[in-house]
Each structure stands twice: as structure tokens, then as C-alpha cells.
Structure 1
Amino acid sequence: MAVRVAITGFGGRMGRALAEALLLSDEAELSAAVVRPGSSLVGADAGEVAGLGRNGIAIVDSLDKADFDVLIDFTAPQATVDNSAYCAAHGHPIVIGTTGFDSEQKNQVLTNAGKVALCLASNFSTGVNLCFKLLEIAARVMGEDADIEIVEAHHRHKVDAPSGTALSMGEVVAETLGRDLEKVAIYGREGQTGARERDTIGFATVRGGDVVGEHSVMFLAEGERVEISHRASSRLSFARGAVRAAIWLMGNKQSVRAPGHYDMRDVLGLN
């Protein structure tokens, strides 16, 4: 029996990509499509809205009106806080791809991991999570002898910067090297900045056009440079990873995974 998945933020770009990923899955299916109250999409056929043909699922404006096993949430920070609290109260595992949380919001979300299985990741792409593992290796081998810079690019509509993925990459490198990212991160440079300090990790952000997502981490040493990069050409790569995480959280459906905070590296066996 397929895992029944609800999608919040269904009217957005990721909501539609998730619907397509579920259509391609043999193990999971769309059972509910949720949008914010007052949306003009309420009552519309979810399949038609996603451009996949009618599927008989009417879009609703509340999780109370949805029937599902697990929720996939790519919305906005406060909405995700509220949705994770709902899932914790009702025993539904949740996959979270929302970024841009402040520290209080993130703590609120993670508190709910004590009640249900919760997979929170800055990026659900298989390739990006492989890059996280490669960054650990590169940082151990080159990190003390190289300057480290992270460059990311996204479409003009992205509202947070640097991207959650870029920050996660910085966290992986900093943790491997025993550094505190909050103390060593440099977010952009301007004017007479002076010579670069070796322990810092630099971030540069590009916004424009319809770029789905590009990330590069450079280890710049004397006489050589190692660069680990990932470029996404379709949101479907993120969506298929999120569906994979939803199936993983449900276990075999008779045995839902234990409450706790998981990430995509757990899903892929990279931790």
C-alpha cells in the first residue's frame, strides 16, 4: 500500500514539482494538497493545478481537512513552525525543506522532533548531500592550508541569502575544522577589507533569472585549487529526494520511524 503524502504550499513551484515526483513514485502517492486560507486555488483539482491532469483531489486550506500519513512542507518559516506542531500533535511524520528560519523558529521546529519523526534538510538533492560528504573529506585534507570560499546562485524570487544549502556547506566545513561558523563567516566584502584571514569562510550570493540552484565550495591553496560544485537544472531533483525521505520516515508503514530529528544524509545512509 502506497504511503499517503500531503503537500503544503501546493500552489508554489516546489508544490507542483512534488506532485510530479509523487506521480513518478511506485511507493508513495498524493493524498492531500494544502494552500493558505483565502487562496483562489481552494477547491480546484490538484492534478490540474500541477499540470498533470485531473486526479480528483480537491485543494484544501487546512491540514484539518487533509487525510495523509506524512507531510512534506516547503513553505515559509512560521507556516512550517505551525505545520510541524500540528504533525507532532497528531502523530504525522514530516519532511521539511523550508529555509530561512531564525534561531527561535528552528528551535520550535526541532522541539517537535521529540514527538514525531522529522526530516529537516536544507537540500533534498542526492547530489548535494553527496557533496556534503565530499566537503568533510576535503576539509580534513586541505582545510588548514587553504582559503575557503562558498558561492551560490538562485533565481530572482528567492527571499533568503545565503541559501540554506550554502550555510549547510559552511557548517559542514566549519565543524570538520573545529571552527564556529557564526564567528568565522564573512558575508560579502566591500571597500578596504585588508588581507584575508585564513580561518574565515567567505560567502558570495548571486540572484537572478530562473537559476534553480548552483553551489560551489573552493579550497584555494598555494599553487592549486579544489572546487566541489553542484548545479541543479530542475526542482524535480529536490522533489524526488523529499519523496524518498517521506517514504523512509514511514518505514514499512506498520512501523513508522522513531521520533527524532533526521536529515537527508540519514535517508541516504551517509551519516
Structure 2
Amino acid sequence: MKSLQSTTRLHNGVEMPWLGLGVFKVEEGEEVISSVKAAIEAGYKSIDTAAIYGNEEGVGKAIAESGVPREELFITTKLWNSEQGYESTLAAFEESLKKLQLDYVDLYLIHWPVPKKDKYKETWKAFEKLYKDGKVRAIGVSNFKEHHLEDLIADSEIKPMVNQVEYHPRLSQGSLHDYCKKHGIQLEAWSPLMQGGLLDDQVLKEIADKHGKSTAQVILRWDLQNEVVTIPKSTKPHRIKENADVFDFELSSEEMEKINGLNQDKRVGPDPDDMDRE
């Protein structure tokens, strides 16, 4: 991965950028429009949103106004928990598409497994239909643990191409990462910077000083060297650029091991087994 345009090839052959912009908690309207435009101007090709974020319309507007051809961009959105089920998924997808003002999305994800509802298999059947109908170029899941993936794959025609999960040096999910690699599922990180909670870590600071980089850049580089797609969120143009400036240095195997050693299996978000919020 040599640049912001570098991609990983998903198991269906679709190329997905290694680095993108996440827009979780970015306000609909001017804030999200200017953030997405700043990212596209800085060379980002991948934008990750979700129905529950309430900012798909702003993302769509920014894409339309960016002047960049649609086929050069990689747009991800996600299905919210309350819309799981076959027909409701198809309807929710059309609503997202309309808000984004797009003819297709590049990646569509089930946002949470919500095991108590037990609808993710039925939902996945709708995802398979959307994929076969050419409405989405790739389908995947978010926040699925190994047992959710095993359960889903056992009854599916098509394996998920991506699993987007909470992933950072305090939660490196080694066993899940190995499982995904074995099954050709690309792991993707949300909250890669642990919502800012890692920026003052001493180990990371020392490594960052050695490379003349920020701790955020070191964490993002660690993601990439672990072959994990990552989508840091920012609304500030200078930070959006800084987050992308991670392709001109490399962490040594010793530095990678030091960062791996920070794992505490510590989440900032909900445990997927307990998450049943509508």
C-alpha cells in the first residue's frame, strides 16, 4: 500500500481503498458536506456512512458537488437494527440510495447482528438479492463476532466480503482477525483511534517521535500494516489530510509488536452480543 489510492481486493474481486473517511456523529448539513468535500479534495476515495448517522443526504450532496466521477469513489452505508428482516431491508436500502442520490453503493453492511432479534440471516438473504441485482458491488457485516459469522455463513450463498468492527491497539481482536483472514473476509476498523483515548499513550508517543509523526498516524499505520482497512473520522481539513499522511513511513516488526502488546480487550462501544438498540 503505497498511497491513499491503494486498495485491497475483496474476495469477489472488488477493489476497496485501505483508508477512508468515517462520518459517525458528523452533523447533517454543512458539517458533513464540508468534511466529505475536504476528504475528496485531499485524495480520499472511500466514504463510510450509515442510515443511523442521519447524514446520508449530506454525503450524497458532497459527492454530487465534488466533481469526481462516481466510479472513482467507494461509498459504504449500513442497515440499521430496526430495519432488519427481508422486505424491510430492501425498503431501507432504497431509502439510503435515494438520500445518497446514487444508483448503487459500493459496500452495504448489516450494522449489528442484534442476536436477540435473530433476523440477520433473513436480512442477509435481502443483501444477497441486492448484490445479485447489481445494486451493491459488495456486501458485508459490521460488529459480527466469530460465532455470528459462522452462523451466517452456514446458511448463506455468499460469504460476507467485509466485517467492520471496533479495532484499535487496546482491542486488537486477534482471534476474530485470524478467522476473517482464513475465510477471505476483509477486516475493517471503526474507532481506530479509540475516540481519542490513545493519543497520549507513552508507547505510541515514543514511536511517533522516532518517526516524526503523530500518535494518530502511528495507530493508522499499525492498522494498515496489520492489513486492516481503516476509516478515521474527522471534520477538520488539516486533520483529514494528516490522517492520510501515513504512506511515507513504515513501522518495524519490533514497533508493531510493542503496539500489539497494548491490547487489553477493551471496548469503547457496545459488546455485539448485548447490543439490541433499535
Taking structure 2 as the reference length, the TM-score comes to 0.30
Larger Rg computed on CA atoms = 1
Taking structure 1 as the reference length, the TM-score comes to 0.30
Bigger fraction of residues in helix: 2
